[in-house]
Structure 1
Amino acid sequence: MKEYKKRIVKTIQYIDANLDADLSLENIAEISAYSPFHFHRIFKLITGETLQQYIIRRKIEKSAFLLAVRKQMEIKEIYFDLGFSSHSVFSKTFKKYYGLPPSEFRKTAPEAFHKILQTHRKNGQADTVFSQYICSIENLLNWTKMNLKIEVKQLPEMNLAAVMSLGINDVESSYNVLIDWAKKENLFPAENIKMISVYHDSFKVTPPDKVRIHACMLLDHQLNTPQGEIFSETIETGKYIVGSGEVTLNDFEQCWVSLFLWMNEHNLSMRRTFPFEIYHSNFKEHPEGKMIVDFCIPVH
């Protein structure tokens, strides 16, 4: 199973980086080094979706993210970049997932700071349920002032060892795999070790059981070759919004919402790379379950 997962991780990374390319079963299977028949079965076994379901969902989720945070992009530019042949095809597919046409989604989602949750009726049709994160923006801002120190910083390049988690519930097991590997490499425990979670999907547009989170460990060198489920990941140097605070796991959602609100208020826009969390302490070692965390958003 580890070899299967390793190949599927490689395939998922390729798909995500090439959503506008020819992502036919034959081409993707070739990248994974499986026959199309075997690849299709293995992919569904590991991800819970067919290849086509996964590709369409990823395209729609990426389009939703761009609609919400990059208002300067024309809708036509978004759907052409993602390989949709026409506005009608894109709009119909988007509405199936989120219950709104793209133009209405762009107007509603960002300003209301709503979390998008999907529920499925018995007939298989997806409904969109909007639930507010917090009672009022004023309360959120007050909470932010009390709990987070927010700065814009230039962060250095970071070399990471990573394990992919498909779904929020698998993150802990991914970290266990990472730590077991680090112990064998005599990298863990260490005094200044840093664990980092890199989010390759947004909870605003991706269901929690589908979100891809990379459980990572900061290294002082680049990992040259994959080792089992462990692969190399690099966080590029650049400008980041960094929100630092001592918080519980239940506070994470508010922290992220606060930072994106702060980003919009300061006329910053997100770069096309991934937000991440840096952990400076372990919540399991704190009597109140708190941990010191840096929440980082890459910006222009």
Structure 2
Amino acid sequence: MQISTFDLEEYKKRIIKVIHYIDNHLDTDLSLEKIAEVSAYSPFHFHRIFKLITGETLQNYIIRKKIEKSAFYLAVHKEAEIKDIYFDLGFSSHSVFSKTFKKYYGVPPSEFRKSAPETFHKILQTQSKNGQVDTVFSQYICSIENLLNWTTMNLKIEVKEMPEMNLAAVMSLGLAQVEPSYNILIDWAKKKNLFPGENVKMISVYHDSFKITPADKVRIHACMLLDEKLDKAQGEIFSESIDAGKFVIGRGEVTLHDFEQCWVSLFLWMNKHGYSMRKTFPFEIYHSNFKEHPEGKMIVDFCIPIH
């Protein structure tokens, strides 16, 4: 399918709108006809465009998002009834949900929940001898005590209220696309005389978790903090906001290789101190650039929205 650069940018813009709609309406009618209506394309045309941009069919994307979100809720909200989780995500029965869940993670939802400890063990997918995908939980580091010691030495953790944040954002599908997305954002900001600046803050908002979503499919929004809300989308740049509320914030001067350990330790700290995560997205705020540090370090706030 041959397309121009202009067409590709327009397609991306409409797919961003569709993905936002899907994420906010996982419990409603998400038929091809309905989604195509949101995108303002014909169903046939939209189906081809969606797969071109995301690498997945619409149906596969919707099912994957529902199952990944259910896996996250099973691991984090252990007090919630399983039936409430799958009903909220639009599954008609336990049998349908269980069968679909097992297809993705190799075990039924109840077993998955038991195997997913509150220390956020790492979920790995490995090929078994018969070619089936098994879900394997392996501990990220050898003991909780070591992890807590690492946290004390490397992160300053506090719980505080934060105001609403208005952001300009570019969507990344897959970890490899994050840097190109930031380049698009910075080019846009330079034209608006917003970058560089003394108080400029870059923020990555995680709309998926690496624990349950493959790295090449994780959706991350590369964002810049704005003084005022962006009125409308400008090419690939769109408006995003982080609601005001209470957050666990861990600040540290770390390398890119430390990021996963920072997140794991921060979630462990959150659980240990009796907090629970709100149904919204964690994010990182960058206060310096690792490319300007001789050891590749940067000052980062790791932020978890909590009740």
Structure 1 residue 110: deviation in Å?
2.4
Say whether residues 1:258 and 2:226 are aligned partners: no
Give CA-to-partner distance per residue, 1:91-121, whole Å, 9 cap, x none: 1111111111111111111246321233467
Counterpart-to-counterpart distance in 2, 1:32 and 1:120: 37
Match of 2:153 in 1: 146
* Aligned match of 2:195: 188
Pairwise mapping of residues 49-60 of structure 1 onto structure 2 (< 5 A)?
A: 49-60=56-67
1:87 to 87, 94, 119: 94
1:239 aligns with 2:228: no
Q: Is the 8 A contact 1:118 1:207 kept in 2?
A: no
Q: Do 1:247 and 1:293's aligned partners in 2 also have CA atoms closer than 8 Å? A: yes
Q: Indicate if the aligned counterparts of 1:240 and 1:296 stay in contact, CA closer than 8 A.
A: yes
Aligned to 2:4: none
The 3-state SS of whatever aligns with 1:164 is strand
Please give the alpha-carbon distance, in whole angstroms, between the structure 2 residues aligned to 1:118 and 1:35. Answer: 37
Is residue 76 from structure 1 mapped to residue 83 from structure 2 by the alignment?
yes
**2:253 corresponds to 1:275:** no
In the alignment, which residue of structure 2 is the partner of 1:62?
69
Q: What letter corresponds to residue 46 of structure 1 in structure 2?
A: I
Flag the 1:122–1:185 CA change in 2: closer, same or farther, 3 A. Answer: farther
Is contact 1:273-1:298 (8 Å) kept?
yes
Give the match for residue 170 of structure 1: 177
Any conservation in 1 of the 2:119–2:267 contact (CA below 8 Å)? no
Alignment coverage as a number of residue pairs: 300
CA RMSD of aligned residues (A): 1.4
Given that 1:163 and 1:174 are in contact with CA atoms closer than 8 Å, whether structure 2 keeps it comes out as yes
Give the direction of change, closer, same or farther, for the CA distance of 1:43–1:76 in structure 2 (3 Å limit): same
Contact 2:160 2:247 in 1 (8 A): yes
Given candidates 102, 109, 119, the residue that maps to 2:109 is 102
Say if 1:124 and 1:183 are closer, same or farther in 2 by CA, change over 3 A. Answer: farther
Specify the SS of the correspondent of 2:229: coil
Gaps of 5+ in 2: 1-7
CA distance in 2, matches of 1:210, 1:298: 23
Q: How does 1:21-40 map to 2 (within 5 A)?
A: 21-40=28-47
In structure 1, C-alpha distance between the alignment counterparts of 2:280 and 2:199, rounded to whole Å: 26
Matched, 1:15 2:15: no
TM-score (norm 1): 0.97
Deviation at 1:131, TM superposition (A): 3.0
TM-score by length of 2: 0.95
Alignment of 1:198-237 (within 5 A): 198-237=205-244
Tell me how far apart the structure 1 counterparts of residues 91 and 234 of structure 2 sit (CA, whole Å): 37
Question: How far is the alpha carbon of 1:134 from its aligned partner?
Answer: 1.1
Q: 1:285 aligns with which of 269, 292, 299?
A: 292
Tell me, what secondary structure is at the counterpart of 2:117?
helix
